[in-house]
């Protein structure tokens, strides 16, 4: 019941900044303070994982991590760096039921939609978490991206078959172990995956354990490429973002 009531309230109340709640001139627009604090990501970046570079190293340059161990994903694209405002928007969507934030995120993410994208697949929630929350935030973002780009979205193709703990606070090995065997394809999903460039959609990219596990399953099902596209990316080694 909470989400429908919040949507009605959004229609009745004036537009507000998705970050701090200050009144703005239009929906999904940040106030000048929040806008100025957001760090929008883009090239120059690592050719493997799109980690931002301070200067252009060339189109094929790789970061040290990708040089040592190429990622499972064929790219990790994020609209903004994870910070105070990006975190607030993500939390409002995930835990406060502010579903309009999904469109705010999608609008910022749309500029990084990979060329040749053929299918949008949101990172799934386990059914227990879906029942308790009432929605999958990644699916809402994927739906908004689909409307903006014309690329179809399928929220049923990939499933989380094992309940996993909250990954925040776990180290890289702990995160990888926690999501091992957690994802599977829906029956006959491979018929819609064969040879396609798939965009995996999520809200926050932290360690990459979840997206890597999803990418492995999608590729085993026949996807040619799997590129993660998300709202925010944790860049600081000691920072941790919310991750289901």
pLDDT digits (tens, 9 = 90+) for 16-65: 999 998 988 888 899 999 999 999 999 999 999 999 999 999 989 999 99
**CA 67 centroid distance within chain:** 24
Answer yes or no: is 1 within a domain. no
Count of domains forming the chain: 1
Answer yes or no: is 12 within a domain. no
pLDDT on residue 131:
87
Answer yes or no: is 33 within a domain. no
Answer yes or no: is 30 within a domain. no
Q: Cα(29)–Cα(19) distance, rounded to whole angstroms? A: 9
- Of 3, 5, 24, 29, nearest to 14 by C-alpha is 24
Across the range 183-196, mean pLDDT stands at 89
Answer yes or no: is 76 within a domain. yes
Of 54-63, 98-107, 157-166, 170-179, minimum mean pLDDT range: 170-179
In the predicted structure, residue 216 carries a pLDDT above the cut 90: yes
Confidence of residue 238 (pLDDT cuts 50, 70, 90): very low
pLDDT, averaged across the chain: 89
pLDDT on residue 15:
87
Answer yes or no: is 241 within a domain. no
* CB-based contacts of 227, cutoff 8 Å, min separation 6: 73, 74, 75, 76, 77, 114, 117, 197, 198, 199, 200
pLDDT on residue 47:
95
**111 vs 239, more confident:** 111
In the predicted structure, residue 102 carries a pLDDT above the cut 50: yes
Answer yes or no: is 7 within a domain. no
Answer yes or no: is 16 within a domain. no
Q: What is the CATH number of the domain that holds 45?
A: 3.40.50
Beta partners for residue 45, in sequence order: 52
Q: Cα(212)–Cα(218) distance, rounded to whole angstroms? A: 10
- Of 21, 206, 39, nearest to 98 by C-alpha is 21
In the predicted structure, residue 172 carries a pLDDT above the cut 70: no
**228 vs 4, more confident:** 228
pLDDT on residue 166:
67
The domain in which residue 154 lies consists of 40-233
pLDDT tens figures, 110-165:
999 999 999 999 999 988 888 888 899 999 999 999 999 999 999 999 999 987 76
Phi, psi at residue 63, to the nearest 5°?
A: -75, 165
Q: Helix 84-96 to helix 101-109 angle, to the nearest 10 degrees?
A: 130
Q: Does residue 40 contact residue 108 with C-beta atoms inside 8 Å?
A: yes
């Amino acid at each position: 019941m909470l989400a429908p009531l919040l949507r009605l309230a959004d229609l009745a109340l004036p537009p507000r900044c998705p970050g701090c709640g200050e009144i703005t001139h239009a929906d999904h627009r940040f106030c000048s303070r929040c806008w100025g604090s957001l760090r929008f990501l883009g090239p120059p970046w690592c050719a493997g994982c799109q980690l931002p570079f301070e200067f252009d190293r060339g189109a094929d340059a790789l970061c040290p991590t990708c040089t040592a161990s190429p990622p499972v994903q064929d790219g990790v694209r994020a609209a903004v760096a994870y910070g105070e405002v990006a975190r607030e928007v993500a939390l409002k969507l995930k835990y406060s039921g502010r579903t309009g934030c999904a469109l705010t995120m999608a609008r910022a993410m749309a500029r990084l939609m990979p060329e040749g994208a053929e299918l949008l697949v949101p990172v799934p929630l386990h059914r227990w978490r879906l029942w308790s929350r009432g929605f999958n935030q990644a699916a809402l973002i994927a739906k908004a991206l689909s409307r903006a780009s014309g690329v179809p979205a399928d929220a049923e193709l990939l499933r989380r078959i094992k309940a996993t703990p909250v990954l925040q606070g776990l180290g890289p090995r702990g995160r990888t172990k926690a999501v091992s065997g957690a994802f599977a394809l829906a029956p006959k999903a491979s018929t819609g995956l064969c040879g396609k460039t798939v965009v995996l959609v999520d809200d926050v990219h932290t360690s990459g354990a979840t997206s890597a596990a999803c990418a492995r399953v999608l590729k085993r099902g026949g996807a040619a490429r799997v590129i993660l596209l998300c709202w925010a990316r944790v860049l600081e080694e000691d920072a941790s973002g919310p991750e289901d």
